[in-house]
Chain A
């Protein structure tokens, strides 16, 4: 039972982590919460569904196409809703994000309706016994994909020129500009990656529950946001760890208090904000100024 809950929790958590990365990366660079990100995740699930229909049973290609499309969606959203407000107060940008979220979710309801769609099978589902726990191929695929994407992101952020530029701009955009780093480029790359990861999460969740629907972004978005806060908003490792912890806590919590499943995440958020408002990895710990 314990092992089963742990596996389920890690799987769910790895998806929260993927979504949380989008919140934390955008916050890091632009210092506002992109409340439209949950809707990007939902659109990612639909783009994944379309990609799966179009490509057929080839998981890797479907995943890459989904990420590309969702990444572009994120870049377009930034152009329309946030770039014109680059120098506006953060409250204004946040308001624009909420507006964008309403537009995206209503657009989904309009175009897609209130039905639930299954995702075409991309691989044969088989179950395995792991001790006394049961684990299936979709779960393994979800966990492995999420972990691989997170490792790739770590490599990109710490090992490449653009990745380092994003870190520099997150710490101090004014000084990054003096180094020749273009804020427009940094923001674009950040939105592309954050949204692409959200799209991957959308596809994985859609495959796991074999269900894609217009309102699926709301609670997943809020929980991933909680994971980002738990890890320390702005911190990339924080979002990863925060997502995994939240997934595990939620699963164990739900096994005791099953009717409060969704409440557990928010209880965690309240506790974090009360006792450790900077999160586990406070991203701004070094940002003291002379």
Chain B
């Protein structure tokens, strides 16, 4: 589905990602975890074409999409839930969802909006509200709903739990799992390692721009280094 090989990302002369390789297969929920500054956002931005100073290759269903501009990549049906949500604050909830479906010309847009409302009923109540005035959790739901509206082949999410209360985080993760169970593969960047590994099938642990460990979620949860560094367990 999504195959990333030897991806390097640089900002000017500074390199943030030093050649990482990862993949997401059909139906999978994969998490990319790591501390602040590990290079997770840089990786997602390189995959979605937001940054172009990259080396290595990104393939979507066998098609090379490396260095394509982000609007062309969106047309390949890759959707992104950016770090910090980035809803269009001056537009209302409905308009934000419409923007997610910007490239669609089919007749099922309205139906998919109903699906988003089933997943996040609060959005339906807030249809006319300016997105900038929603709570953090509602904005996160809107950002995820907006991605669903693209009818994507795959969704990339950057820290959907950022800045949310623990109880909201759990419900957001539950929704993400639901979306994935409906057949959409997801690559989710997270710092909430325990919860992320609990919903994900597989995980990659990123440190200083490289993949330090990878494996099935239950194995990573048992991994001694992961337990010590990311789950704060002492032995």
Whether A associates with B in a native complex is yes
Q: How far is the CA of A172 from the CA of B96 in the complex (A)?
A: 12
Contact B50 A182 (CB under 8 A): no
**Which stretch from A18-26, A59-67, A110-118, A282-290 is at the chain B interface?**
A282-290
Contact in complex: B89, A178 (CB < 8 Å): no
Contact B71 A168 (CB under 8 A): no
- Bound together, the chains give a CA A244 to CA B50 distance in angstroms of 40
Judged by a CB distance under 8 angstroms, whether B95 is at the interface is yes
Cα separation A164 to B70 with both chains bound (whole Å):
18
Q: Check A286–B89 contact: CB distance below 8 A.
A: yes
Is B90 part of the binding interface, using a Cβ–Cβ cutoff of 8 Å?
yes
Q: Which of B74, B85, B89, B95 meets A180, CB within 8 Å?
A: B74
Cβ-defined contact, A172 with B99, below 8 A: no
**Is B42 interfacial (CB 8 A cutoff)?**
no
Chain B contacts for A210, CB-based, 8 A = none
Minimal Cβ-Cβ distance residue in B for A182: B71
B19 contacts partner chain A, Cβ-Cβ < 8 Å = no
**Nearest chain B residue, comparing its CB with the CB of A175:** B86
Q: Given A164-B91, A164-B95: A174 and B102 within 8 A (CB)?
A: no
Partner of B85, one of A171, A286, A290: A290
Interface residues of A in 137-182 (CB under 8 A from B): 161, 164-165, 167-168, 171-172, 174-182
Chain A residues near B162: list those with CB within 8 A: 290
Interchain nearest-CB distance for A170 vs B (Å) = 8
Instruction: Answer yes or no: A6 CB below 8 A from chain B CBs.
Output: no
Contact yes or no, B84 A178, CB < 8 A = no
Residues from chain A with a CB closer than 8 A to the CB of B74 are: 177-180
Asked if A178 contacts B82 (CB within 8 A), the reply is yes
Chain A residues lying within 8 Å of B86, measured Cβ to Cβ, are 172, 174-175
Judged by a CB distance under 8 angstroms, whether A254 is at the interface is no
Task: Say yes or no for B185: interface residue by CB 8 A criterion.
Answer: no
Judging by beta carbons under 8 Å apart, are B90 and A286 in contact? yes
Instruction: Check A183 for interface membership: any CB of B closer than 8 A.
Output: yes
Establish whether residues A178 and B48, one from each chain, have CB atoms under 8 Å apart when the complex forms: yes
Is A289 within 8 A of B84, CB to CB? yes
B82 touches A175 (CB 8 A): yes
A182 to B73, CA, bound (A): 11
Say yes or no: is B98 at the interface (Cβ < 8 Å to chain A): yes
CB distance from A20 to the nearest CB of B (A): 19
In the complex, the chain A residue whose C-beta lies closest to that of B98 is A164
Give A164 to B136 CA distance when docked, in angstroms: 23
B150 within 8 Å of A by Cβ?
yes
Q: In the assembled complex, how far is the CB of residue A177 from the closest CB belonging to chain B, in whole angstroms? A: 4
Taking the complex as formed, is B69 at the interface, i.e. its CB lies under 8 A from any CB of chain A? yes
Q: Please report which residues of chain A, range 217-256, place their CB below 8 angstroms from some CB of chain B when the two chains form the complex.
A: none
Q: B88 near A172 (CB under 8 angstroms)?
A: yes
Bound CA–CA A174/B85 (angstroms): 12
The answer on a CB contact under 8 Å between B50 and A179 is no
A161-B102, A164-B99 are contacts. A177–B85 as well, Cβ < 8 Å?
no
Q: How far is the CB of B153 from chain A (nearest CB, A)?
A: 13
* Chain B residue contacts of A179, Cβ below 8 A: 71, 74, 99-100, 102-103, 146, 150
CB contacts (< 8 Å) of B98 on chain A: these are 161, 164
Rounded to whole angstroms, the CA-CA distance of A152 and B82 in the bound complex is 34
Contact B82 A290, beta carbon cutoff 8 Å: no
* 8 Å CB contact of A167 from B80, B90, B146: B90
Known contacts A179-B102, A181-B102, A290-B162; A171 and B71 CB within 8 A of each other: no
Known: A180-B102, A183-B71. 14 other contacts (CB 8 A): A164-B91, A168-B99, A171-B88, A171-B91, A172-B88, A175-B86, A177-B50, A178-B70, A178-B71, A178-B74, A178-B79, A179-B102, A179-B150, A288-B89
Question: 22 A-B residue contacts at CB 8 Å?
Answer: A161-B98, A161-B102, A164-B99, A165-B99, A165-B102, A171-B90, A172-B88, A174-B50, A174-B86, A175-B82, A177-B69, A178-B80, A178-B82, A179-B99, A179-B102, A179-B103, A180-B75, A180-B102, A180-B103, A181-B99, A290-B84, A290-B136
